[in-house]
Structure 1
């Protein structure tokens, strides 16, 4: 594994999803699902692929940040990186000058995720394993050595993390076999984007039910009366026994969130997702406390920018469902820390996915969580959105509303070169046609 990294390239790849209102919610009314797409070249020809997710405008800023980090990566040997992955993570996140741009949050952290995702993809390819299997086969001490415990030892020490992983060794093979046979349970957000018409919502719900889906999420937050109407419609469509979640995408102040969600309680949502600012830990705690008597939990995390934020959310009992994101946090390394903290605090992990490529990535993390950390499927499911999978060389496989474990080596990050070229901004054929209209 003496692969020397000789080049890091990054491209701005955007898909015009706003044209059909895919991804629309109360705060993001016209998203164009996009990526800063990274390719790592090595001297032996092996490549690593990675990306971070964006909504269109501003992707060029993330591209600049990736280019700024590239100098820390080129010239490194893969073996040296993975033998001290904690040190490499700190190298990218603790540069004496670039750290000022974060630290460990915002655009610079999105760029860090893109680079590290490519490194993990490279490692898994070098080992000939899908990423989830690479993690599952690791010795617990090696997993712990990939994590930066700085700033979280008051919630989780290295020794505690190792103990969690060691205890989960019992029954690990059985859980892996179960995942290979049945897959990991998923829920769908594809049916009820805020910009969808009632007719489309009904059709998509009908199709999803026929395909075996039992867990549905609906976007809320723009208009209360319309939310009541749409939640009533989707509850009637899916029936009383299936699971409903609602997602406000940070729309409300704290008191407003409590009042608004209380008005939707009759539809029995399992959770309200992102009810207020993603940075407001105490606000989420107040909402959690107020909604607990109604049996409604709080879920958040897709824009929670670091393990330190998650630590405080867990310490403050401010969320009942942890939603990790494979591109918001600092790649696998930081997500491992959050998975272990969530287990210690006994809060189920239900990852954020969708976008472009997020489903492909996060499936690896949730498989690892079940097999090697939590050992439980209680109140656990992974988001699925049926958009843009056709642009990947190894797209997700969903069977009976379950993620089936990927079999191809790597982190499922690689996009079809033809798709990248067509959708590269602003010179790809797709964007030339839109811009010249």
Structure 2
């Protein structure tokens, strides 16, 4: 092994359970997730040279320890590799994680093991960006189309899009790319806010936050629904009274309804002119979503889903069944950047807009890169597209996302914006962080270290 290869050898993969007590203020609350503590399994991959890449996958508190253990179980597949060899044939490496002959059984390509895969893959992309001193969106945009395709595992989706079709789309995306990069650097990419719409917020808080974000230049708002119809009507009335009808409103049920219930409920909310209903039923119910989409089309309401689609195969089926109008990829739900790229390509071919989910720990930081790459090198437009923004936990990152005039500004720091501040890790690592020690002492949360067994 040469000295250069030795420096590029992966010598460790560390995983931490990082949690924030967002349930105390009802931040992030919706009809399904009533008391989330925004959290993440946080992976750090270290090279022999000392350079580190950081990646994460978002969780809601309890259960993060399971994802952490899954990532630790995959570490032997990563440690000892020469990182540049991974990048030369990234699709093959990705498949080695998702198709490990025994671990695959507890997925396959879904659940905790796939969330762990996302954290590891995201860390490798952060490391790649740092190695070549580029933000990930620019790394992706600068890759030759053939090289970009080499990071994607097309298994199971070739009946929707072939490599040849994907290559043609990427070649078309090269036209006008430099002009779009210039535009992106100047104005950024449009976003919407969910911050004023959490289900656990009082009317007073919703009113205050809606006005705050309206004054900040936001024109697109999302509100949580699904627990009580009359409350939803009042909440939509409240939002419309503040933002008016010349701005955009979306609603999000977070999977709580039956199919017919979703149709009936949304007919009652139709007077408020929502652009979309998000996750109206089970995230795995392709045909249910298709039925809802068909029933609501005459009302001008689209269906949006994807934040809990477990892999590219499920996205393929949603797209083929015309079960969604807005494709909501999540940067940490499926297997990291590599798999997400295949979803963007399928959506492009099928003519479906991608409007990514974000908001949880680090999701805004990551997803901005994906959508900016799409704008620059694939779709070539931001028309009809918008990225979610939730103003939480950004202060814990070394290079947090930057919002100006309701636009994500293009990141310039190398990597994937996923490196957390050491002091934040020390404070919120679970259960031994200083902030958790304090909350346990105050009786705000149960201390799991006192459990003696089942």
TM-score category (smaller protein): over 0.9
Q: Which runs of 5+ in 2 are unaligned?
A: 444-454
Please report how far the alpha carbon of residue 133 of structure 1 lies from its aligned counterpart in structure 2 after TM superposition. Answer: 0.5
For 2:328, the equivalent position in structure 1 comes to: 323
> Any residues of structure 2 matched to 1:67-86 within 5 Å, and which?
67-86=72-91
Are 2:436 and 1:435 equivalent residues in the alignment?
A: no
- Structure 1's unaligned 5+ residue stretches are none
Q: Deviations over 1:31-79 (max 9, x none)?
A: 0000111111110111010010000000000000000010000000111
- Taking the aligned partners of 2:167 and 2:38, their CA distance within structure 1 comes to 37
The answer to whether 1:356 aligns with 2:364 is no
Please list the CA deviations of residues 145-191 of structure 1 after superposition, one character each: whole Å capped at 9, or x if unmatched: 10000000000000000000001111111111111000000000001
- 1:118-267 to 2 correspondences below 5 Å: 118-267=123-272
3-state SS, counterpart of residue 180 of structure 2:
helix
Please point out which of 77, 100, 103 is paired with 2:105: 100
Cα distance between partner residues in 1 of 2:248 and 2:155: 38
| Alpha-carbon distance between aligned partners in 2 of 1:390 and 1:252, rounded to the nearest angstrom | 35
After superposing on structure 2, the runs of 4+ consecutive aligned residues of structure 1 that deviate more than 2 Å are none
Partner of 2:386: 381
The residue aligned with 2:54 is 49
SS class of match (1:8):
strand
Aligned counterpart in structure 2 of residue 29 of structure 1, from 34, 38, 54:
34
Which structure 2 residues correspond to residues 244-323 of structure 1 after superposition, within 5 A?
Answer: 244-323=249-328
**How far apart in 1 are the matches of 2:159 and 2:435?**
50
Q: Which residue of 2 aligns with 1:109?
A: 114
Q: Secondary structure at the match of 2:274?
A: coil
**Cα shift readout 1:353-387 (whole Å, capped 9, x = no counterpart):** 00111000000000001111101212100000000
Measured in 1, the distance between the counterparts of 2:173 and 2:92 equals: 26
Partner of 2:44, secondary structure, is strand
TM-superposition CA deviations, 1:218-277 (whole Å, max 9, x none): 000000000001001101110110000000000100000000011000000000000000
With normalisation by structure 2, the TM-score equals 0.96
Aligned to 2:428: 423
TM-score, length-scaled by structure 1: 0.99
Shift of 1:301: 0.3
Q: How far apart are the structure 2 equivalents of 1:305 and 1:174?
A: 35
Distance 2:71 2:44 in 1: 11
CA drift of 1:430 comes to 1.1
Determine the C-alpha separation between the residues in 1 that align with 2:171 and 2:321.
27
For 2:271 and 2:57, locate their aligned partners in 1 and report how far apart those are by CA, in whole Å. Answer: 37
How far apart are the structure 1 equivalents of 2:381 and 2:187?
14
- Secondary structure of the structure 2 residue equivalent to 1:311: helix
